[in-house]
Chain A
């Protein structure tokens, strides 16, 4: 009589609750980065000239390219959600895969960008790093920590979207039950928007 099936009937679906939970989680992510933005503003205020000079050492072209990639990936993510809402499973899957590929392209670029810095001896613990002026060192410390943490979020986003793709293939995500995909989409837009702030702070304000 009272069995797991019976209980399952009462596990009602509440899309609004799922969205609310996701938005709350996104707030916590923003605050997580908020701590770093706080450090950035204080150190920028303390070492204005050094930050100014150090920012010129970053490659604006790669940065711009990556911004374009990430913005496009947000578009493909949004398209995949609209597609599933219109019951076009195949198109949705294609655009989810595209999103993951764009994310990968972003990471590849990031890898080469970091590697260039490391080849020039700019990494924590190097002689070059230890002999810099404090302001310049703090700039690069923030650069590595903030873009590193962001890259970690890109990886998490890729895993998340890949799982969603699997769900879509297996019809767990369908045109009338797509809240999971929507949540993954929200997460991906968050990753995008954090980059939108990182890009000017590190690359453009020179």
Chain B
């Protein structure tokens, strides 16, 4: 990721970006005056490329590219510390969700494994109605190219009788799949508007 001082702010400025983020997140990012409470509260700053207060400022400065390629938005764990402490009552977690959504749309996802895990999780829910932990991990290991993820845990989980071999298919799984379909149709329509 480009260090902050090397960003070419005027050239790369997308004046519409803040409005897009504000509209989708229903949060007033223009109110942020850089107090830094969010970053002071965030236990993930040490793995972020931009601390969360800088993300907020970069949105204000129309730095769409830098923000949507940032690793920070994919390493945020929705822990709510920033949202709880923001003196401007900005739901920062909601803003980060919005940015993840935009970065998927733009194809600028920085931490692909996190997205892969989320997507496979949702596919599992869509298929069975409930998430199938064992199957999810197997597919994640296969697709992420990290086949040994958590294999050290398997024997212990098995020993405690906590490893389920087959998914639990609920009766209403079609109802659940239909919720996904209607949601996708709603998103497609919203994007066209």
Are A and B associated in one complex? Answer: no
Question: CB within 8 Å of B: which residues of A?
Answer: none
